Structure 1
Amino acid sequence: MRRPAQHARMGPRPRRALAVGAVLLLAAGPSALAAAPGPGPSALAAAPRPYSAAHAVASRPGGTPSGAVASSGPGDRGTQLYLQNCASCHGPRGQGAQRGPSLVGVGAANVDFQLSTGRMPASHEVQQAPRRRPVFSAEDIAAIVEHVGTFGGGGPAIPRVAPGNMPAGREVFAANCAPCHGAAGAGAVLTNGWVAPPLYESTAVQVAEAVRVGPGLMPAFPSQVLSDAQVDDLAAYVRQLRGERLDRGGHPLGRLGPSTEGLVAWLVTLALLVGAVRWLGSRAGQ
Structure 2
Amino acid sequence: MKKLSARRRHPLAAVVVLLLALAATGGLYTAFAPADQAQADETAQSLAIDEGKRLFSVGCASCHGTGGQGSSDGPSLVGVGAAAVDFQVGTGRMPLQQQGAQAPKKKVIYSQAEIDQLAAYVASLGAGPAKPTKNQTDPSGADIAKGGELFRTNCAQCHNFTGEGGALTHGKYAPNLRDTSPKHIYEAMLTGPQNMPSFPDTTMPEKNKKDIIAYLHAVNSSESTTPGGLKLGGLGPVAEGLFAWIFGLGALIAVAAWVAARTAKAKRS
| TM-score exceeds 0.5 | yes
2:189–2:199 contact (8 Å) kept in structure 1: yes
Q: Which whole-Å CA distance do the structure 1 matches of 2:220 and 2:76 have between them?
A: 33
Bigger CA radius of gyration: 1
Q: Which runs of 5+ in 2 are unaligned?
A: 1-45, 247-269
CA shift, 1:149, in A, is 1.4
CA shift, 1:222, in A, is 1.9
2:87 aligned with 1:106, yes or no?
Answer: no
Distance 1:256 1:211, change over 3 A: closer
Amino acid of the residue matched to residue 131 of structure 2?
Answer: I
Alignment counterpart, residue 159 of structure 1, candidates 118, 132, 139: 132
Alignment counterpart, residue 176 of structure 1, candidates 146, 154, 158: 154
Alignment counterpart, residue 201 of structure 2, candidates 215, 223, 234: 223
Deviations 1:27-51 (A, max 9, x none): xxxxxxxxxxxxxxxxxxxxxxxxx
Distance 1:255 1:148, change over 3 A: closer
- Equivalent in the alignment of 1:93: 67
DSSP-derived class of the 1:150 partner: helix
Q: Which whole-Å CA distance do the structure 1 matches of 2:75 and 2:237 have between them?
A: 36
DSSP-derived class of the 2:129 partner: coil
Alignment counterpart, residue 203 of structure 1, candidates 168, 181, 196: 181
Q: Which whole-Å CA distance do the structure 2 matches of 1:226 and 1:75 have between them?
A: 30
2:166–2:173 contact (8 Å) kept in structure 1: yes
- Equivalent in the alignment of 1:135: 109
CA shift, 1:120, in A, is 0.2
CA shift, 1:192, in A, is 2.1
Amino acid of the residue matched to residue 179 of structure 2?
Answer: E
Alignment counterpart, residue 215 of structure 2, candidates 237, 240, 244: 237
Amino acid of the residue matched to residue 214 of structure 2?
Answer: A
Q: Which whole-Å CA distance do the structure 1 matches of 2:119 and 2:198 have between them?
A: 20
CA shift, 1:165, in A, is 2.1
Question: 1:8-157 to 2 correspondence within 5 Å?
Answer: 73-153=47-127, 155-157=128-130
Q: Which whole-Å CA distance do the structure 1 matches of 2:66 and 2:112 have between them?
A: 22
Deviations 1:161-188 (A, max 9, x none): 2332222211111111111100121111
Q: Which whole-Å CA distance do the structure 2 matches of 1:183 and 1:124 have between them?
A: 30
1:248–1:255 contact (8 Å) kept in structure 2: no
> Structure with the greater relative contact order (CA < 8 A, sep ≥ 6): 1 or 2?
2
Distance 1:192 1:75, change over 3 A: same
Amino acid of the residue matched to residue 181 of structure 1?
Answer: H
TM-score when normalising by structure 1: 0.60
- Equivalent in the alignment of 1:188: 166
CA shift, 1:121, in A, is 0.2
Deviations 1:236-255 (A, max 9, x none): 111223314886449x8889
Distance 1:222 1:185, change over 3 A: same
Q: Which whole-Å CA distance do the structure 1 matches of 2:80 and 2:102 have between them?
A: 18
Distance 1:248 1:255, change over 3 A: farther
TM-score when normalising by structure 2: 0.63
* More off after superposition, 91-100 vs 217-226: 217-226
Q: Which whole-Å CA distance do the structure 2 matches of 1:257 and 1:90 have between them?
A: 38
Q: How many residues get paired?
A: 188
Identical positions, percent: 39
Q: Which whole-Å CA distance do the structure 1 matches of 2:235 and 2:152 have between them?
A: 26
Q: Which whole-Å CA distance do the structure 1 matches of 2:59 and 2:118 have between them?
A: 10
